[in-house]
Each structure stands twice: as structure tokens, then as C-alpha cells.
Amino acid sequence: MSTSKTKAAGKTVDFRQGQEDLRQELRQGMLEAATRLLTEEGPTALTVRKVADAVNCSTTLLYSLFGGKDGLSNELYLEGFARMEAALAAVPPQSMGLQRLHALAHAYHQYARNNPSYYMVMFGDALAGFVPPVESRTQSWKSMAVLIEACDEAMKQGVLAPGNATAAARLLWAAMHGAVSLELKGYYLKTERADELFESAVQAVLGHLQKS
């Protein structure tokens, strides 16, 4: 009789679980290879063939594990937001009010600068033809939870005018993203000009939120 389990050296071996573990290990290896290509060579280097070659496997296996380039692109999209969420979460919680919002804005700016390829995957057209599915876009918004919480706390402290913390965070995010996108696309050749634009955009939104 066939079975998915057998005993070897006094322990139970679960072949099905072993296959799943191997599958996840291969999947993670491919994702790491794709990340290296993305960060070291840029989005144009991210092809199914290059990722498969990087882990010495067939493109057929990659399609099996990710469902093709769109599936792999979606994983990188989610990974980018997960990394950004970690960068924002790393901001010390001791800061409060406007100080905390400025600290979060600075962390966002630094994340974009340190991870330009990921940022363009998250918000730009770095991966031709890729459109994140609705569930992934919903998941990506969760990465801004710390910013929403900071806006909510600032409103409770009276630092910002009472209102919808989520709407306030969206407005601040829109301003930060606009300034960062111009910077990453090379519209400002000097770093200090990019810093000035970013800070002005953040200040303008926070000033508006204090009065609204």
C-alpha cells in the first residue's frame, strides 16, 4: 500500500511535507535571486530566464512556483511594501506629535533613496505590463498603518486638527510620494534641492492639517 509517510532511522518521514518544504525553499531562493537582480542591475534585468539561470533551474519550474513573471512581480511588489513598513516601524516611538510625523516622513524618504528599484516597482512602471491585483494593493496600504496611527495620535494631542486620521495619512503620503517620484526620476540634479522640495511638501501638508 502506498503512503505519504514512512519510517527511517527511528523517525517518521513525511514525503508530502518534505516536498512542500522544498517547494518553499526553491520559491524563496528565486525571490532572493530576483531581488538581487532588481537591486543590483535594475528592473530591466528582471526576466524569467535570468531569475531561473540565477538559481540554476528551468523557466518551467519558475512558472510552476509563481505562475509566470506577473506572479514573481507581485511578490516583489509586496516585498517592497513589507520593507517599507519595516523602515517606518523602526522609527523610535519616543517621538510624538509633529516630531514623530517628521521622523516617519524622513524614514519614508530614506527608504525610497536606499531602494529606488523597489520603489519604482511599488509605484512606477518599472515592470512593463504588471498591474498589482486588488488584494495586493489592499495589502500594500496596510504598510502605512504606522503613519495613520501617528496622525491619529497627533489629533488626540491637539497637534493636528480633529479629523479623519486615515485621510490625513493619505494626504501626507501623496505629498511625500510626489516629491520622491520627481527625485528618483531625475528632475532634481542636486540632492539639496530634492531635500528642500520634500521638506516643503511635508511642511505644507502638516500646516494644512493643523488648520483644517
Segments forming the whole domain that contains residue 205? 80-212
Question: Do both 114 and 51 map to the same domain?
Answer: no
Question: Do both 123 and 194 map to the same domain?
Answer: yes
Q: Which of 21, 41, 67 is the last residue of a domain?
A: 67
Residue 73: inside a domain:
no
Residue 1: inside a domain:
no
Residue 84: inside a domain:
yes
Question: Do both 56 and 102 map to the same domain?
Answer: no
Using CA atoms, how far residue 17 sits from 4, 37, 66, in Å, is 9, 30, 19
- The tens digit of pLDDT for each residue in 144-203 reads 999 999 999 999 999 999 999 999 999 999 999 999 999 988 887 677 788 999 999 999
Question: Do both 42 and 125 map to the same domain?
Answer: no
As a whole number, the mean pLDDT across the chain is: 86
Asked whether the beta carbons of 160 and 139 are under 8 A apart, the reply is no
Number of domains in the chain: 2
Residue 43: inside a domain:
yes
Domain with 47 in it: what CATH number?
1.10.10
Residue 164 has a pLDDT of 97
- The tens digit of pLDDT for each residue in 102-152 reads 999 999 999 999 998 889 889 877 787 888 999 999 999 999 999 999 999
